[in-house]
Amino acid sequence: MSDGTGDRIPFEFLVPGIEAARAALRRLKEDDVPARLRKVASYSGGRLPAPLAKALVAYLDGDDWLREKALKELDPEATDSSSGLFLRRPDGWLFEIGKQVGASAGGAAAAQVTDLERRLASAAKSEAEARRRLDEAKAQLAREKERHRGEVELVRGQLREVREADRREDDVHTRELAELEAARSAAQAAHEAELEAGQALKERLRRAEEQRAEVERRVQAGTQTAWGSGDPVALARHLDTLIRTVEADPALLEFTQPTREREWKLPPGARPDQRNAIDWLMRQPRPFTCIVDGYNLTHRLSGGTDSAARERLNDALARFKLRTRTPAKVIVVYDSAVSPEIETGAGPGGVWVRFTREGLIADEEIRRLAEEADDPVVVVSSDREVREGSEKHGAIGLWGEALAAWIQER
């Protein structure tokens, strides 16, 4: 977890490290980019805006894995710079950065004093020039006042002309308004005529419905043959037309047909860290096995690992299992090192609650189950190594955030 040390270092001392971290993010697969850094990774401009740079520094401050990735992208000559010390974190690294910041601040202060003295001399010179220009402005103002009097008289004459033009335009607008009112009345009359025509059409439709019902009655009574003349050839053509109209487009079934030939994968548009992946999974027509990293998800939902947190997750998974289109096998795996007194067994709604054997962690158990499963497998975990290890055995890896979003909206 971050202790906020990155917030105490001026950003300008961490620019090389920030750029190295951006380069490391660009090398990652899209699904491996942490959700909190997606905006940083997708930013294609020059230097990062302050909010994005602050978010990246905060994440680097608390994530050893990303710091190592960024360190590989850092210029070797910058190893002992503030960015290098921030990423490597040797003993006394924060003190060394403080020395660099202090040295820079001292030089900046001396430069600032020199600049202030230069600016003071320039201000005195500007003041003298301003006084001279003020005297000239006063003289110019007196001349402008005299000229203004003549312009005011000219504007007054123009204003009288404008008012007369406005009066004439008002007369024109009055006539146009009367013409528009007459046109509105004509349009209303035409609309009423259309309504009457619509009523007549409805009456014709009603009579046609009555005639259709009478024909159907006669067909059912055997006194009239369906499909007009009853010609078998014509009847066959009608049936062919009906079949063509109800045939489904095969492209629409691409991601729902229960065939074993098609690869088990997410469809376009479904993201492994978003709820739409869970919605797609629940509509699958084929049986599948869903393996959930238990404590990884309880941390997402409530931040706890006690029995109450487990029960809430187990109940939510039972609801998920109940709502799947086809029977799904749902297994939730908990690390027995956290709760050694609990044994493996059937949970609510047919969910299989599994605690790892002694000496085995939940991550290893999940990968083993994914490898041994016969049905298509989905593994739900926010742990990247768990997902990637399961995907090697053909499983789909979904982030815990996706299932948590589905549960929290129930």
pLDDT, one tens digit per residue, over 263-314 is: 688 998 899 999 999 999 999 998 999 999 999 999 999 888 888 999 999 9
- Do residues 342 and 336 make contact, with C-beta atoms less than 8 angstroms apart? yes
Is residue 46 predicted with pLDDT exceeding 80? yes
- Dump pLDDT digits (tens) for 227-236: 444 555 455 5
Helices of type H across 222-326: 232-246, 275-282, 294-301, 307-323
Rg for the chain, CA atoms, rounded = 39
Give the length of the chain: 410
Cβ atoms within 10 A of the Cβ of 93, count?
A: 16
Please give the distance of CA 210 from its chain centroid, rounded to a whole number: 54
Between CA 331 and CA 351 the distance in angstroms is: 6
Domain 275-408, what fold? Rossmann fold (3.40.50)
Q: What is the mean pLDDT of residues 341-368?
A: 82
Contacts for 327 with CB less than 8 Å, ≥ 6 apart: 287
CB hemisphere CA count around 189 (13 angstroms): 6
User: In whole angstroms, how far apart are CA 43 and each of 19, 34, 47, 272, 364?
Assistant: 12, 14, 9, 21, 36
- From the list 280, 263, 369, the residue with the least C-alpha distance to 381 is 369
In whole angstroms, give the CA distance from residue 5 to residue 198.
76
Which pLDDT does position 143 carry in this prediction? 92
With beta carbons less than 8 A apart as the criterion, state whether 289 and 379 touch. no
pLDDT on residue 223:
63
For residue 19, give the 3-state DSSP assignment: helix
Question: Do residues 396 and 264 make contact, with C-beta atoms less than 8 angstroms apart?
Answer: yes
Mean pLDDT computed over every residue of the chain: 81
Confidence of residue 216 (pLDDT cuts 50, 70, 90): low
∠ CA 361-362-366 to the nearest 5 degrees? 125
**What string of DSSP letters covers 324-358?**
SSS--EEEEEE-TTT-TT---EE-GGG-EEEEPPT
Q: Residue range 153-174: average pLDDT?
A: 86
Per residue in 183-215, pLDDT (tens digit) is: 687 768 767 877 887 788 778 778 877 877 776
Q: Which residue has the tokens 């905006």?
A: 39
**DSSP per residue, 58-123:** HHHHH-HHHHHHHHHHS-GGGTTSHHHHHHH--TTHHHHHHHHHHHHHHHHHHHHHHHHHHHHHHH
Per the structure block, which two tokens stand in for 406? 């589905």
pLDDT on residue 321: 93
Tell which wins on pLDDT, 212 or 361: 361
Confidence (pLDDT) at 272:
94
Choose the weakest-confidence range: 36-40, 224-228, 382-386.
Answer: 224-228
- Domain ranges for the chain: 5-90, 275-408
